Amino acid sequence: MQWALEDLLLKKRGRAVALRAVVVHPARNIGMSSGCRRGKITLTLRATPVRPSLKLAFDPHGLSANALFMSTPSGSIQSAIGPVTQRMGFGILGALSFSHFLNDMIQSLILAIYPLLKATFDLSFAQIGLITLTYQMTASLLQPLVGLHTDRHPRPYSLSMGMGFTLLGLVALSVAPNFTTVLLAAALVGTGSSIFHPESSRVARMASGGRHGLAQSVFQVGGNAGSSMGPLLAAWIIIPHGRQSVAWFSLAALVAMVVLWNVGSWYKRHRLVAKTATGMPTHVRLPHSKVMVSVSILLLLIFSKYFYLASLNSYYTFFLINKFHLSLPSAQIYLFLFLAAVALGTLAGGPIGDRIGRKYVIWGSILGAAPFTLMLPYANLFWTGVLTVVIGLVIASAFSAILVYAQELIPGRVGMVSGLFFGFAFGMGGVGAAVLGRLADMTDINYVYQVCSFLPLIGLITVFLPNLERTPAGPAAAPA
């Protein structure tokens, strides 16, 4: 038997709150009571004869409603109720993705103008790697700390402030008189990233409507798309007009600051709602020791993914110029195609993980890239372009799945988990760039790609990850 509570209106301080829910239970009588506490309105339904109870908590704005199910002598209540008034916030996700686009476009300019910096300051490959290491390590060391702090003390407007550091880094890079100033500019950009990524990931989860993988993919694809635009913009604007033209992109940072200020206002208004949205767990809780082992496996997978990506992000243009004697603009186009494929793979990974399970996406993404990476060092120019596009599509689909999987391993610590994984990814990219740059100086750039081709085989350890997904009784909430 079903009872429907249609358009139930409760009033608090003259404001109406609407609730639509369907409760399924064989009991014949239902009693209702309501009350208010700390800005929340609660409604308790009691059914007889088995006396289960269903407690609903929702905010005065009618933005979320979440159910806490109580066990009964005959088992658990099955219900279609969930955060039925909580919908995916595509507007907020779009704003985050657009800001991520601008943020990572700015950051990718640094990578794209490496040949220009190398010629201007007469740098070695090891010094090129040191620029990436400075940027990546600044971001990686600070991100977990930023995430841990904001888990306890949310800072809605820190998103806009973080973009301010990126703006300062751009200006410093455009006027840098020496290599030391270039490193300082890279550190400022890394600091901006360390603030931007954990909080943006938290807001994306808040706006997910329970579709966490899709929300993370929408957020991250903006960053990947921005990264793919960097080489083109460098080829079209910075290389013809000189390093000083980097300052023109400070306008993009200003636009991002305005957009993120508005996102921060939304975050401030909805923070209480997200904090109280606890709902039914939709994943298996694991012992602490198993959680730590699983996190270690995920971090090792991040190592393999980002160490390999460092070889392409930092040295792909040098590889093409050295092996196939391409011009710099032509090599930049190949880099753009690879980064565009990474963006498409990122967008696909999240929703596929929502549908079939994140472990299977992780498994297929990391290990699935191995056959193509093993072929790449021996391919001709045409197949090099094809293989790098395939590698980008396959290997990029992992990160959204890894991040959401980790957030479900450690619920309630979205900022810390996001900071840890974004930071570790950035750190591995930086260490990878420095180590591979040194290896290229000692040997040659072709040998670097032969060594890196084996890294995706580390994906075999995915088999030791536990399956977290289980069939939920209703849509899950998106706790911050």
Shared domain for 44 and 160, answered yes or no, is no
Q: At 160, list the tokens.
A: 């806009």
Res. 13: pLDDT tops 60: no
Look at 45-54, 219-228, 258-267, 436-445 and tell me which has the smallest mean pLDDT: 45-54
* Helices and strands, counts by H and E, the chain: 16, 8
Average pLDDT, the chain: 75
CA torsion angle for 429, 431, 435, 436 (degrees, to 10)? 0
User: If you average pLDDT over residues 223-251, what whole number do you get?
Assistant: 81
Shared domain for 6 and 109, answered yes or no, is no
What gap in Å lies between CA 435 and CA 205, rounded to an integer? 34
| 213 falls within a domain | yes
Give the tens place of pLDDT for each residue, 127-137.
Answer: 887 887 788 77
Give me the pLDDT at residue 86, please: 53
Provide the residue type at 406 as one letter.
Answer: A
Which comes out higher in pLDDT, residue 400 or 450? 450
Shared domain for 172 and 251, answered yes or no, is yes
| 101 falls within a domain | yes
Listed residue (201, 9, 30, 172) closest to 100, CA to CA: 201
Question: Which of 14-18, 403-407, 450-454 reaches the highest mean pLDDT?
Answer: 450-454
Shared domain for 39 and 160, answered yes or no, is no
Name the β-bridge partners of 198: none
Give the tens place of pLDDT for each residue, 294-330.
Answer: 999 999 999 988 889 888 888 898 899 989 998 888 8
Residue 231, preceding peptide bond in cis (omega within 30° of 0): no
Provide the residue type at 473 as one letter.
Answer: A
What gap in Å lies between CA 448 and CA 376, rounded to an integer? 12
Listed residue (59, 67, 63) closest to 40, CA to CA: 59
Q: Quote the Cα angle for 422-427-430, to 5°.
A: 130
Range of the domain at 374: 90-276+285-464
CB 392 within 8 A of CB 338: yes
User: If you average pLDDT over residues 409-415, what whole number do you get?
Assistant: 81
Position 283 confidence tier, pLDDT thresholds 50, 70, 90: low
Parallel/antiparallel/unpaired status of strands 40-48 and 2-12: unpaired
Provide the residue type at 438 as one letter.
Answer: R
CB 34 within 8 A of CB 43: yes
What gap in Å lies between CA 265 and CA 147, rounded to an integer? 19
To the nearest whole percent, how much of the chain has pLDDT over 70? 76
| 85 falls within a domain | no
CB 395 within 8 A of CB 308: yes
Name the domain count of the chain.
Answer: 2
Give me the pLDDT at residue 88, please: 67
Helix axes 414-442, 179-206, angle to 10 degrees: 150
The stretches of 113-157 forming alpha helices (DSSP H) are 114-121, 125-152
| 298 falls within a domain | yes
| 475 falls within a domain | no
| 471 falls within a domain | no
DSSP 86-104: ----HHHHHHHHHHHHHHH
Domain closes at, from 32, 50, 76: 76
pTM of the model: 0.63
Which comes out higher in pLDDT, residue 94 or 61? 94
Give me the pLDDT at residue 2, please: 34
Shared domain for 161 and 198, answered yes or no, is yes
Give the tens place of pLDDT for each residue, 102-159.
Answer: 988 888 787 778 888 888 888 888 888 788 778 877 877 788 888 888 778 877 888 8
DSSP 414-435: HHHHHHHHHHHHHHHHHHHHHH
Shared domain for 48 and 113, answered yes or no, is no
| 479 falls within a domain | no
User: Whole-angstrom distance between the N-terminal and C-terminal Cα of the chain?
Assistant: 35
CATH number at 164 reads 1.20.1250.20
Domain closes at, from 25, 52, 76: 76
| 357 falls within a domain | yes
What gap in Å lies between CA 257 and CA 255, rounded to an integer? 5
- Calculate the alpha carbon distances from 115 to 112, 316, 400 in Å: 8, 11, 31
Provide the residue type at 234 as one letter.
Answer: A
Res. 477: pLDDT tops 50: no
CA torsion angle for 479, 295, 166, 339 (degrees, to 10)? -100
User: If you average pLDDT over residues 248-261, what whole number do you get?
Assistant: 90
